[in-house]
Amino acid sequence: MNELNVLTMGEAMAMFIADEPGSLEDCLRYERYVAGAETNVAIGLSRLGIRTAWMSKVGDDSFGRMILKTLTNEGLDVSHVLVDALNPTGFQLKSKVDKGDPVVEYFRKNSSASKISLEDFPLERLPITQHLHLTGIPPAISSSFRELSWQVLNHMKQTGVTISFDPNLRPSLWSNEREMISVINRFAEEADWMLPGMQEGEILTGYRNKEDIASYYLERGVKLVVIKLGEEGAYFATENERKEVPGFAVTKVVDTVGAGDGFAVGVISALLEGSSYEDAVVRGNAIGAKAVMSSGDHEGLPNREELEHFMKKGVLQS
């Protein structure tokens, strides 16, 4: 195939969302979707016309086939996805809520993705790409996936590929917080673009304000730090520029999960197209706002026409 714009890697799971609000144990009916931070970003980029590949492993089961069919239909390159005959595809349950964040229960122990290793994806066989997007989830899933992620990051960096990193902290996947902070910061400090949420930044750096969090990573070689501030928008900082960019008004919050991935889609796609840092953050805010107005992790991510329409009609927060 032609050279990629973006390569990403991670774990995809089947996701079952409750039909009605309430506790998961009381729910009788669920709707099935595909879940995964990296697949959300990949799908969002593909919908904007960015040539994107997702690299991973799925089980030889109905969930794995559903994931591959969904991603193929979204226009992704899945030629770097292996099928594991021994270990299953993970899945999750998610509650339906009228407001706030849903409850999510994961069933991913010993999943096919947790068995990924450098032997599965030799560095010399990695696809040619313009950009690599990583999150903090693969390093948390297993030590073998962590090592592969680290090797891929360094290999790509040596070839001049730009790298974005979203911490996507999952404390429940780590043995302790100290290890999580150490490993995630190790990855973050090698990235060109760092995309933490405000709370994540506080945990990772120990600082309590966005200016100090941004400075922490800039001093360690990161070129752009963009801190997500929820409905308030985002704050970005480079060596020469710092600015808070207001978010877009949301008519109704349906599902907050995936908003950060939508934000990453906006920032990455705009920067790859040569936009300014501020314009990239504006696009990130717009896609993040659209994402929370739909159920599912990636269902609200727009195509190019939908994005342009929303950005023209959308109202910035005052």
Q: Which CATH number belongs to the domain containing residue 149 in this structure?
A: 3.40.1190.20
Q: Counting Cβ atoms within 10 Å, is residue 280 exposed (0-12), middle (13-18) or buried (19+)? A: buried
Residue 68 lies in a domain: no
Instruction: Tell me how far apart the alpha carbons of residues 294 and 31 are, in angstroms, rounded to a whole number.
Output: 14
Amino acid 2: pLDDT: 55
Amino acid 251: pLDDT: 73
First CA to last CA across the chain, in angstroms?
Answer: 45
Residue 301 lies in a domain: yes
pTM listed for this prediction: 0.93
Amino acid 314: pLDDT: 65
Instruction: Tell me how far apart the alpha carbons of residues 39 and 265 are, in angstroms, rounded to a whole number.
Output: 11
Beta-carbon contacts of 280 under 8 Å, excluding residues fewer than 6 positions away, are: 266, 267, 270, 271
Domains in the chain: how many in total?
1
pLDDT per position as a tens digit, 110-165 = 999 999 999 999 999 999 999 999 999 999 999 999 999 999 999 999 999 999 99
Please calculate the CA angle 147-148-150 and round it to the nearest 5 degrees: 65
Residue 173 lies in a domain: yes
Amino acid 318: pLDDT: 44
Residue 18 lies in a domain: no
Residue 87 lies in a domain: no
Its domain, for residue 289, covers 4-10+37-56+111-313
Please identify every stretch of the chain with a pLDDT value under 50, giving residue numbers as ranges. Answer: 1, 318
Residue 153 lies in a domain: yes
Residue 129 lies in a domain: yes
Instruction: Tell me how far apart the alpha carbons of residues 180 and 224 are, in angstroms, rounded to a whole number.
Output: 22
Residue 106 lies in a domain: no
Is residue 255 part of the annotated active site? The answer reads no
Amino acid 81: pLDDT: 98
> Of these residues, 101, 261, 279, 297, which one is catalytic?
261
Amino acid 300: pLDDT: 80
Amino acid 1: pLDDT: 44
